[in-house]
Structure 1
Amino acid sequence: MDKISVVIPVYNRADWIGKTLDRIFSQKHDIYEVVICDDGSTDALTEALQPYSAKVKLITITNSGPAIARKTAIEHATGDWIALCDSDDFWLDNHLAYFLKAVNLFPEMNFYFSDFHASDAPERSKLEGAPLGWLAALDSEETSSTDYLKCNKKLYAALLKFQPCFQSACLFRRTLYEQVGGIDPAVSRWPSEDFHLTLRLAAIGRAVICTIPTVIINKHEQNFSADILGNFEGRIDILEKIIRDSSVEADLIRQTQAEVEMSNLELFRLYYWHNHYQGMLERFRRTPKKYLMTKDYLRLLKRIVTQAFSK
């Protein structure tokens, strides 16, 4: 049977890590190993991990950002499957059970993620908020269970429009990770850094989505995911890097470029509503003029006038 390595990057999560580990160790299926990379924490993380010292492999590095910490943990793991989990998220008891069922149903699968609930919006799951027809467009028509969807080759394009693949709900084969070149340390401190790996896995992976929520993603002031504008800007940076590096095939590069153009327009409008003058100007410059409407020019003019009279 394939071995599962759980990898956890952690920075100053002494108050969270025990709760996260308790939920991992409560799974009803064996885990080969849990590898934690401490990204130079300055809190009481060492003390918080003491009760788990016999159960986890701990690596400590100089503070380098979440992507490098995650990359380091993966490189110290030895399992066939890599199961990601952030240090402040919670697996439900059924998380690995649903994954292992998918392995049996879809033996060719090498990329898997499940639905989840976010702590700040527990009334519906992430996939329940998907755009109309999003899941149906991905169906390969080979799915043999209502709990899963075997994806066709449109997953990359679908993730450009809606992103339900979060790290703590994701597993992939080590061989796929190596095939895409692993985590790029250059993005380690970028907002939305995890999207860089997710897209490259989706571009060539044989993916299955579990439509049952098996994870709780915790949103709080201390994690990157709470910064809406910063994550949006980081997402654009990630897409532009994929284009520069030619990380995916040519047709996907073209789709990525189109998404960058539309995202710049959307971020321009977001900066307008948040009264962020410099951010609005930058995104206006980067948005192709064919996408701009009369109201966008009027919004820009309004902010310019407001800015001039405020000096």
Structure 2
Amino acid sequence: MSHIVSSPTVSVVIPAYRAAWSIGRAIDSLLTQTRLPDEIVVVDDGSPDDLPGALKPYGDRVISVRQPNGGASSARNLGIERARGDLIAFLDADDYWEPTKLERQLDIFRCHPEVGLVASQYFVEVPGRARFERQADRDRFLSRPLVLTGRKAFEFATIILTSTILVRRSVIGDHRFITGLEPAEDRDLWVRLVTSGPVYLLPDHLVTRVVVPGSLSNSHPDRDYANMLRVVHRHRGLLGRRGLRHWEARLFSKWAAVHLGDGRPRAALAPAWAHLLCRPLSLAGWWVLFKSATLSTLSIIQRITIGLRTKLGVKPRLETRDRVQSVRKPL
């Protein structure tokens, strides 16, 4: 990795889609930094709302670039091409930074010039709830330069949040986000960058990730988890056989749980069974499969019952989904 000797310039890339409501807070968090960024690049990803109007008060303090809607990966890639800084940071339009974020990260680059990427801990904010610290088993990664390989490199890439990252342009090089891997496209890029040289994870909570209500519904779980599996398989050489099985089992388990939680037991059957193929001795896995099969069978029986009642002119007292929900307990 090449070292930056003089004071580095910092570009911040913000992909924005339907973000007129939140972009002001994101930009304000940049303009109140104790060390201001040198460049703010907002990529309007074909947003149908009045994003230009929301950006207008910032004038030439923000560089706005517009493209046809192509998704966050495409927008970030365009932002990287447009950015001119020695260091590139990313900020999702829903999220915001703490005032000392850039200052703390630049301190790390000065003290450890061999480091190519610095991330931090972060808060999570959900409407109607108090902001809380994101909890994860990260202590072994904190507060020191790390050279990571194998499963540890992949795990590190899964726990860092895109909005926390500050990375050298020389490290990014020709690497880009791969479109079509959403929502795991950032994980894929971080795996590639983490394995290219030393990285650093600050213990400070310097970013707030805002979880908007629409994102809680997980409306495309099959696409999302299939793409996560694609990323796992793209890095199977890094993970090895045991690591590959571990991540497959983990994702299949979560996939089944999402379908069960949303009242779709039949859809949960395939990932539940796939989880058991990875971990045939998993008691939790067998319980999820049993629960999926039981609720699925009950759902089918109740649909048949409702159909017969309808033909006989008897009004059903309870819709199938409501009946299934009434017997479903949280995982």
Please classify the TM superposition score into its range, dividing by the shorter chain length: 0.7 to 0.9
Q: 1:303 — aligned with what?
A: 295
**TM-score, reference length from structure 2:** 0.78
- One of 167, 173, 177 as aligned partner of 1:172: 167
Q: Which region of structure 1 is more displaced relative to structure 2, 234-243 or 204-213?
A: 234-243
CA apart distance, 1:165: 1.1
CA apart distance, 1:296: 3.8
* Alpha carbons 1:195, 1:235 under 8 Å: kept: no
Distance 1:227 1:106 in 2: 41
- One of 246, 250, 259 as aligned partner of 1:262: 250
Q: 2:139 — aligned with what?
A: 135
CA apart distance, 1:172: 1.1
Change (3 A) 1:82 1:235: farther
User: Can you list the C-alpha shifts for 1:73-112, whole angstroms capped at 9, x where unaligned?
Assistant: 1111121111001112111111111011111221111111
Distance 1:50 1:309 in 2: 58
Unaligned runs of 5+ in 2: 1-6, 304-331
* Alpha carbons 2:184, 2:231 under 8 Å: kept: no
* Alpha carbons 1:115, 1:164 under 8 Å: kept: no
Distance 1:158 1:176 in 2: 16
Helix, strand or coil at the partner of 2:177: coil
Q: Which region of structure 1 is more displaced relative to structure 2, 291-300 or 98-107?
A: 291-300
Q: 1:142 — aligned with what?
A: none
* Alpha carbons 1:160, 1:259 under 8 Å: kept: no
Change (3 A) 1:37 1:123: closer
* Alpha carbons 1:82, 1:172 under 8 Å: kept: yes
User: Can you list the C-alpha shifts for 1:184-225, whole angstroms capped at 9, x where unaligned?
Assistant: 1232xx234322222322233411011111111112124x4x
Q: 2:144 — aligned with what?
A: 149
Distance 1:97 1:53 in 2: 24
Helix, strand or coil at the partner of 1:211: strand
User: Can you list the C-alpha shifts for 1:233-292, whole angstroms capped at 9, x where unaligned?
Assistant: 62552342452xx4x472425424431133213432443344212420221343343255
- Structure of higher CA gyration radius: 2
RMSD: 2.7
Change (3 A) 1:209 1:231: farther
Distance 1:98 1:107 in 2: 14
Q: Which has the higher contact order (CA 8 A, sep 6+)?
A: 1
Change (3 A) 1:252 1:110: same
* Alpha carbons 2:269, 2:293 under 8 Å: kept: no
- One of 274, 295, 298 as aligned partner of 1:286: 274
User: Can you list the C-alpha shifts for 1:58-85, whole angstroms capped at 9, x where unaligned?
Assistant: 1100111111111111111121111001
CA apart distance, 1:308: 2.4
Question: How many aligned residue pairs are there?
Answer: 290
Distance 1:63 1:239 in 2: 25
Q: Which region of structure 1 is more displaced relative to structure 2, 290-299 or 79-88?
A: 290-299
* Aligned amino acid, residue 16 of structure 2: V
Residue 188 (structure 2) pairs with residue 193 (structure 1): no
* Alpha carbons 1:265, 1:292 under 8 Å: kept: no
* Aligned amino acid, residue 238 of structure 1: M
- One of 86, 98, 103 as aligned partner of 1:92: 98
CA apart distance, 1:163: 4.1
Distance 1:155 1:6 in 2: 30
Q: 1:38 — aligned with what?
A: 44
* Alpha carbons 1:14, 1:43 under 8 Å: kept: yes
- One of 3, 9, 15 as aligned partner of 2:9: 3
**TM-score, reference length from structure 1:** 0.82
Distance 2:131 2:64 in 1: 36
Distance 2:219 2:257 in 1: 11
Helix, strand or coil at the partner of 1:185: coil
* Alpha carbons 2:13, 2:76 under 8 Å: kept: yes
* Aligned amino acid, residue 272 of structure 2: F
Q: Which region of structure 1 is more displaced relative to structure 2, 149-158 or 69-78?
A: 149-158
Unaligned runs of 5+ in 1: 140-147
Distance 1:296 1:50 in 2: 52
Distance 1:196 1:273 in 2: 27
Q: 1:112 — aligned with what?
A: 118
Residue 82 (structure 2) pairs with residue 76 (structure 1): yes
Change (3 A) 1:117 1:310: same
Residue 176 (structure 2) pairs with residue 182 (structure 1): yes
* Alpha carbons 2:256, 2:268 under 8 Å: kept: yes
Helix, strand or coil at the partner of 1:310: helix
- One of 220, 229, 237 as aligned partner of 1:250: 237
